[in-house]
Amino acid sequence: MNWVQRSDIPRSGGDKGRVIYTDGDSRNAQRARGYFDRAGVASRIQVHVGDALEFLSEQTQEFDVIFNDVDKEDYPRVLRLVSKRLRKGGLFITDNVLWSGRVTEKTPKEASTKAIVEFNRLLSASPDFYSTILPIRDGIAVALKK
Ligand SMILES: C[S@@+](CC[C@H](N)C(=O)[O-])C[C@H]1O[C@@H](n2cnc3c(N)ncnc32)[C@H](O)[C@@H]1O
């Protein structure tokens, strides 16, 4: 999960933009560091290895953009945390919200599918966000904090 503070993304944020990238898997975090280096933006990105939900719940500052791509079962919990930590006008972006179309199943059986369906329902009903789903690749939810 990426938490972006003070600006939007590493390049457009300029020198003052700051990105916090969290990954529970140290090997994936290491690979990500390699990509950040190759893209020339490593100095703007703080890599944190650990649980993103725990990390976010410990934060006190507000973020401009929060990108969510954690294990899908945690999506509803992420939504509750994000509301408090995103500034007004900030963006909350979430990957995989169509889950290869499984979100349209009448009675989803997988825990991951059930959690994404619940997340989509909570997000669209939330009084805190204007939201939409872009049908790009596996579905991206984009929500603007009111
Ligand atoms: C596997 S990728 C998701 C793939 C991508 N959304 C796609 O469609 O191909 C998700 C990454 O988030 C990390 N991750 C999952 N849950 C996490 C959590 N609660 N905290 C931190 N990192 C997490 C995983 O270790 C993994 O590196």
Sheet-wide strand order for 45-49:
45-49, 18-23, 2-5, 63-68, 86-95, 140-145, 129-134
Does the CB atom of residue 24 touch ligand 1 within 6 A? yes
pTM attached to this predicted model: 0.92
Q: What pLDDT, in 10s, does the model give residues 7-32?
A: 345 566 677 788 999 999 999 999 99
Cβ 19 vs Cβ 9: under 8 Å: yes
Domain ranges of the chain: 2-145
Weakly modelled stretches of the chain, pLDDT under 70 = 1-13
Give pLDDT, residue 16.
78
For helices 111-125 and 75-85, the axis angle rounded to 10 degrees is 30
Architecture of domain 2-145: 3-Layer(aba) Sandwich (3.40)
State which of 3, 22, 23, 95 you would mutate to test the pocket of ligand 1, scoring each by most atoms of that ligand within 8 A of its C-beta.
23
> Given the CA of residue 28, which atom of ligand 1 is nearest to it?
27
Instruction: Tell the residue nearest (CA) to atom 14 of ligand 1.
Output: 70
The whole-number pLDDT of residue 8 equals 43
Is any atom of ligand 1 closer than 6 Å to the C-beta of 51?
yes
CA 101/CA 141 separation, integer angstroms: 14
What's the chain's length in residues? Answer: 146
pLDDT at 99: 98
